[in-house]
Structure 1
Amino acid sequence: MANSGQTDTAELVAMVSERTTVIVRLALVADEHQWQLHHGQITLDDDTPVTERAWRYSTAAFLELPLPGPTAAALLHGDDQDVHDIRVVLPGPQSSSASTYRLRSQEQWGRVTTPWPRTEWTISRDHNTPQPGHDLLIGDGPSFLNFDQALSAFLYQRPHDSNADRSQLWRIVQPQRGGWLEKITIGPDLLTADLVGDDLDGDDLDGAVLELSSAAGHQPQPIYGAGTYHFELRHGLAHDSLLMLRRGDQWLDWRHFPAPAYGRARDASVVWEESGPELDILLASGEGKYLECKREVPEGDSRKKMLKTIAAFASQNGGTVLIGVSDDLHIVGLPEKPTVDKQELAVVGMIRDTVEPAPPYESRVIDHDGKKVLAIEVSGGGQMYSYRDRDSRRPEFYVRVGPNTVPARHPEIAAGFRQVPST
């Protein structure tokens, strides 16, 4: 199966119908004395516990409960159904195909991360479908400022920060628990991988291989079951290495390094025994669209450039600023005075005072052969972030083009703001 593609909706309907029970989450809006589906999720998994929930308001309802497979399939097909004493009405004609994604373990997509790999299908709604309003939700459930905040809390237990679910009518999730990489530990001369999985404890392991590959070659190891596997790193972990768990020509799980290069949320399953090798991998690609280096905590024009870059990282796909690294990518370390903690607090204060709204980022200190490097790892925030100088009231918007931070064009700014619904 390809990592992405299209699946006929009829195939999904048949697959759901064959299940005895599935887990369903429904977000409904009141429309002319009927309840219309705004967003639905179906989980095809017998091992996930179900916590039944029902939030009811005058203009919206949110339901989580197990449903017979045929009932969920009928909803997916576009047929009205009675669910929890509510007649659920589907909006308009159903799409004939679904976007298909196969995701490794610990991979975030659409605000969801799972310890195991999974396959996801999404079906978009008709663009002409009316959107829910922004009224206060008060009723039989937690109170919310508007529908979007309630939806984000119901699905992800997180505050609302994007309108990602406004384009999706359905999301179907199927966990793949045959085998996955639970934990990877990387040291200076050894990589250790802990494998778990339903199939790894059985006898059907023919062709199962765990291999570490790079431009210099690869090290394959046959899999004999769940457990711990080791790979020697004679010269450290090579840049652009790929750790692959596969059976025949089908992958079960994988990790690609460098993981930290794009400033996104860190992979909790990857543990670096020493942060120096991680920093070496990050610097191997050089400064570019996702990496900016500073010799020391900047001042003046250099300070403005760094903060504009942080705003650009947050407005796009994220990135990392390293302080304590020279322009020629040599690690010089932070100066001894003031203390490293004070230097980190100074940068955090700069970001707080000049980047609006507050960007999603983490700051941490990396020790490399006794030299301290401050890493500002910025995640893509799904909207536009501005740099606002304390002497100017006018916000400025920037994007990253290669290794340069440049002013955003009007279409780029407009597209960024369209990602965030008005309130």
Structure 2
Amino acid sequence: MVNNGQTETAALVAMLSERAAVNVRLALVAHAQQWRLHHGQVALDDDAPVKARAWRYSTATFLELRLPGPTVAALVRGDDQDVHGLHVVSPDLTSSTASTYRLRGQEEWDRVTTPWPRTEWTVNRDINAPQPGHGLLVGDGPSFLNFDQALSAFLHQRPHDNNAGRSDLWRIVQPQRAGWLSQITIGPDLLTAVVDGDALDGAVLELSWAADNQLHSVDGAGTYCFPLPHGLAHDSLLMLRREDEWLDWRSFPAPAYGRARDASVVWEQPGPELDILLANGEGKHLECKQEVPEGDSRKKMLKTIAAFASQDGGTVLIGVRDDLQIVGLPEKPTVDKQELQVVGMIRDSVEPAPPYESRVIEHDGKKVLAIEVSGGGQMYAYRDRDSQRPEFYVRVGPNTVPARHHEIAAGFRQAPTATTF
């Protein structure tokens, strides 16, 4: 099985040629009275039914359909083809190799997440190729402000963001369903893994950590348990493998603060998770507050949330002292009211609305409020209630500091509204 690296495009063309049919999404732009391929996605998945769609506009067309493998192979090779009543001009490849990525289950890449692992190949577009226009798209399909929005909606059914400004001409996806971890439950003294898959003969499930490892032979889809007499060790790795080939895996390091949570991992008792969160202390991605802040402390927390969102995310824990002692939220007002109070602060003082989740973690009878902020891919401002002036901040180690002019400018250049093809 191919790992991360490079694959000869000739090998991809040969692989496509051998398939009777594949599912394809094509984004075409009108250029010099021709339909030129701007981006194509191929799913090498015979189990996934295709939902045939065609959005047609005067300057762009978006197609989703099932095509013969040799037809798609010819398009990837750079040969023009007739597709759905259109003559499609496919650009010549600028490289003889494609970038190769092998992704575990539940791993998001380019806005796609699947329960099972997958291999993806991308072929870059010529940066000098003609680009789509930016006018309104009105025609036989939903109306959009511009090509960017239409492409994001067609590929992901989600609003446009800076990931829609793609540099790849082709993206080819192949699911790997030999075996995968569909759910992991972590308790205080037991890890339970649910294994699924189509070809599990000879597979082994391994839980490893710095001091030791445990092995389980896998005799088919089902549930497998690992005792944890001392709890889950930091930096543990759960691996489903066959000899020296991995099928799927999950790692449990100190959490990546503010990042999307893995839906396949359930912490049965959140206490151990909070211990891991606090293991490295306050820093670039973690801020602790003893209670819901007021006054200057309130401003500092909101500035930190804006900084987390402007960079690569972070977590604010309320109910934890600066020395990392867990004191819990006070009994009054209720936890729900305290959470709503923080949510209201964020809504009133951080613009635009930052990407975050709030949740309550229980630990030894105490409750801690976690505000998990994801990196938003743009600059977020703290707006002072008195001056109403927007202020921009970044995180430097454990400190929140005013952003410099070049940091603010860079943040706005990468914002979704500034993205161009």
TM more than 0.5? yes
Inter-CA distance 171–369: structure 2 relative to 1 (3 Å threshold):
same
**TM superposition score normalised by structure 2:** 0.94
CA–CA separation in structure 2 for the residues paired with 1:122 and 1:396: 39
CA–CA separation in structure 2 for the residues paired with 1:218 and 1:394: 55
CA offsets per residue over residues 235-261 of structure 1, 9 Å max, x none? 211111111111111111111114743
By how many angstroms is 1:2 displaced? 6.8
How do 1:158-307 residues align onto structure 2 when only pairs under 5 Å count? Answer: 158-200=158-200, 205-206=201-202, 208-258=203-253, 260-307=255-302
CA offsets per residue over residues 389-418 of structure 1, 9 Å max, x none? 223344332222332223333333333222
Task: Tell me which residue corresponds to 1:60.
Answer: 60
Task: State whether residues 187 and 268 of structure 2, in contact with CA within 8 Å, keep that contact through their aligned partners in structure 1.
Answer: yes
Pick which of 141-150 and 80-89 moved more: 141-150
Amino acid at match of 1:377: E
User: Runs of 5+ in structure 1 lacking a partner?
Assistant: none
Task: State whether residues 186 and 266 of structure 2, in contact with CA within 8 Å, keep that contact through their aligned partners in structure 1.
Answer: yes
Task: Tell me which residue corresponds to 2:357.
Answer: 362
Task: Tell me which residue corresponds to 1:352.
Answer: 347
Task: Tell me which residue corresponds to 1:88.
Answer: 88
- Partner-residue secondary structure (3-state), 2:418: coil
Task: State whether residues 258 and 282 of structure 1, in contact with CA within 8 Å, keep that contact through their aligned partners in structure 2.
Answer: no
- Partner-residue secondary structure (3-state), 1:296: coil
Return the match for 2:325 from 316, 321, 330.
Answer: 330
Task: State whether residues 77 and 92 of structure 2, in contact with CA within 8 Å, keep that contact through their aligned partners in structure 1.
Answer: no
| Structural RMSD (CA) | 1.8
CA offsets per residue over residues 136-184 of structure 1, 9 Å max, x none? 2221112222222211111111111224442222111111101000011
Task: State whether residues 163 and 421 of structure 1, in contact with CA within 8 Å, keep that contact through their aligned partners in structure 2.
Answer: no
By how many angstroms is 1:222 displaced? 1.4
**TM superposition score normalised by structure 1:** 0.94
Q: Is 1:319 equivalent to 2:284 in the alignment?
A: no
- Partner-residue secondary structure (3-state), 1:94: coil
By how many angstroms is 1:3 displaced? 4.8
CA offsets per residue over residues 19-43 of structure 1, 9 Å max, x none? 2111110111122221122211011
Task: Tell me which residue corresponds to 1:36.
Answer: 36
- Partner-residue secondary structure (3-state), 1:303: helix
Task: Tell me which residue corresponds to 1:154.
Answer: 154
CA–CA separation in structure 2 for the residues paired with 1:90 and 1:387: 47
Sequence identity percentage: 80
Number of residues of Structure 1 aligned to a counterpart in Structure 2? 418
Inter-CA distance 286–259: structure 2 relative to 1 (3 Å threshold):
closer
Pick which of 265-274 and 187-196 moved more: 265-274
CA–CA separation in structure 1 for the residues paired with 2:336 and 2:214: 41
User: Runs of 5+ in structure 2 lacking a partner?
Assistant: none
